[in-house]
């Protein structure tokens, strides 16, 4: 499955380097078992076709080549410092993440192509501003340049990653800029919420209480990391999934940026490319356990491990506001418009995948 680009755009300044570790976070991280990996060789490029410059190709999107080195670089951007220093762990991540990361790169290339056709650009000053926003919050030795060097990717690669995120935001806004909603659309949203509130007590009192406590139109914007573990899984599978979620949570609390943790651990292909962003949602839109946790968090706060019938989630709330029915209808319409565009783009593009 090709991951979908989210129609709701990331908040400005969302690229955040890790902050200082608290004593509690360091203890939690140390308590997690060290995972040692051996026997991995990394990305196998021996059987890949070559481009005109002799470089191994992993894909071609409407004639634009994605090389094996492009793929390696994209994977390295998301590595933790510990992974970047360990050759075997880097090789293991290359082997296990290459297919998912490549699908993300294909999707992003289609968005870039649209941006080029529409004359959308990202100025150097915009990249500088994004980096400055991140560095303002960072301690000495934890600036973006320091982190890039320790991961072995270099500041130019990191700048290019940020440039890509910015152009994707602009393209999404451009694609959905003509979307308009009517008062009837807003009334439909409001009526839907009213039905949810009046019928919820008959279905699940817990959901009704949550809706009443957050208000009819209060919404949050959240990101999540999920380790899938469906209801009915064996105790062994459930235990392993929970342990993996707890390991990810310990790393987040120890300073790993949430978006990077998502890229390393999450099993939701639709949200991984955008740091787990789910966009805005109102009360009772999500699974009950997820809903209760999300609406109990403050902006910037990360939940513990939350179990639902889907698996184990970690939730980060990035924004919340009272909202209106009109705003909700507008966001829903923009989401639909972008998904429609993406589907058409994937159907009409000439995409060649060479990675096996």
DSSP track, 56-75: BEEEEETTEEEEHHHHHHHH
Please check the confidence at residue 238 and state whether its pLDDT lies above 60: yes
Answer with the residue of higher pLDDT: 210 or 340.
Answer: 340
Q: Is residue 309 part of a domain?
A: yes
| DSSP 3-state of 219 | strand
Domain containing residue 65: CATH number: 1.10.4030.10
Residue 334 has pLDDT above 70, yes or no: yes
Q: Decide: residue 133, CB within 10 A, 0-12 exposed, 13-18 middle, 19+ buried.
A: middle
Whether 166 and 262 map to the same domain: the answer is no
The secondary structure of residue 179, as a DSSP letter, is -
pLDDT at 39 exceeding the cut of 80? no
pLDDT level of residue 118 (50, 70, 90 thresholds): very high
Name the more confident of 150 and 217.
Answer: 150
Structure confidence by residue, pLDDT tens digits, 48-58: 999 999 999 99
Tell me if 338 is assigned to some domain.
Answer: no
Across 65-74, 209-218, 276-285, which has the greatest mean pLDDT? 65-74
Domain count within the chain: 2
Same domain flag for 138 and 193 = no
- Residues 151, 247, single domain; the answer is no
- Residue 16 covered by a domain: no
> What's 264's domain CATH number?
3.10.50.40
Strand 219-228 to 351-353 pairing: unpaired
Q: Are residues 229 and 301 in the same domain?
A: yes
Q: Is residue 272 part of a domain?
A: yes
User: 170: pLDDT confidence band, cut at 50, 70 and 90?
Assistant: very high
Name, in order, each residue with C-beta under 8 angstroms of 317's C-beta and a sequence gap of 6 or more: 220, 221, 222, 294, 297, 298, 299, 300, 301
Range of the domain at 77: 23-177+345-353
According to the model, what pLDDT value does residue 43 have?
Answer: 77
CA distance 327 to 332: 9
């Amino acid at each position: 499955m090709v991951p979908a680009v989210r129609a709701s755009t990331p908040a400005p300044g969302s690229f955040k380097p890790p902050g200082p570790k608290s004593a509690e976070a360091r203890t939690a991280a140390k308590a997690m078992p060290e995972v040692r990996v051996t026997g991995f060789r990394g990305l196998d490029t021996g059987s890949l076709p070559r481009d005109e410059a002799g470089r191994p190709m992993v894909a071609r999107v409407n004639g634009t080549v994605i090389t094996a080195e492009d793929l390696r670089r994209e994977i390295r951007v998301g590595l933790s410092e510990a992974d970047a220093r360990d050759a075997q762990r880097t090789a293991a991540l290359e082997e296990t993440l290459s297919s998912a990361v490549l699908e993300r790169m294909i999707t992003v290339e289609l968005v870039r192509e649209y941006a080029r056709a529409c004359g959308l650009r990202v100025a150097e000053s915009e990249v500088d501003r994004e980096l400055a926003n991140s560095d303002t919050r960072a301690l000495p030795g934890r600036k973006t340049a320091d982190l890039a060097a320790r991961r072995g990717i270099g500041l130019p690669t990191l700048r290019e990653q940020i440039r890509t995120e910015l152009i994707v935001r602009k393209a999404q806004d451009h694609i959905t800029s003509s979307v308009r909603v009517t008062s009837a659309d807003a009334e439909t949203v409001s009526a839907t919420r009213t039905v949810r509130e009046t019928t919820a007590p008959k279905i699940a009192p817990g959901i009704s209480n949550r809706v009443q406590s957050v208000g009819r139109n209060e919404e949050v914007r959240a990101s999540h990391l999920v380790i899938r573990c469906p209801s009915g899984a064996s105790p062994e599978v459930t235990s392993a999934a929970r342990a993996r979620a707890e390991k990810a949570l310990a790393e987040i609390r120890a300073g790993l940026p949430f978006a990077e943790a998502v890229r390393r651990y999450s099993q939701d292909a639709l949200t991984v490319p955008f740091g787990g962003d789910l966009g805005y949602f109102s009360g009772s839109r999500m699974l009950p356990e997820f809903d209760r946790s999300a609406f109990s968090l403050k902006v910037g706060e990360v939940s513990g491990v939350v179990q639902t019938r889907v698996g184990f989630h970690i939730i980060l709330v990035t924004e919340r506001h009272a909202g209106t029915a009109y705003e909700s209808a507008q966001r829903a319409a923009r989401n639909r418009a972008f998904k429609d565009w993406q589907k058409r783009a994937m159907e009409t593009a000439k995409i060649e995948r060479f990675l096996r």
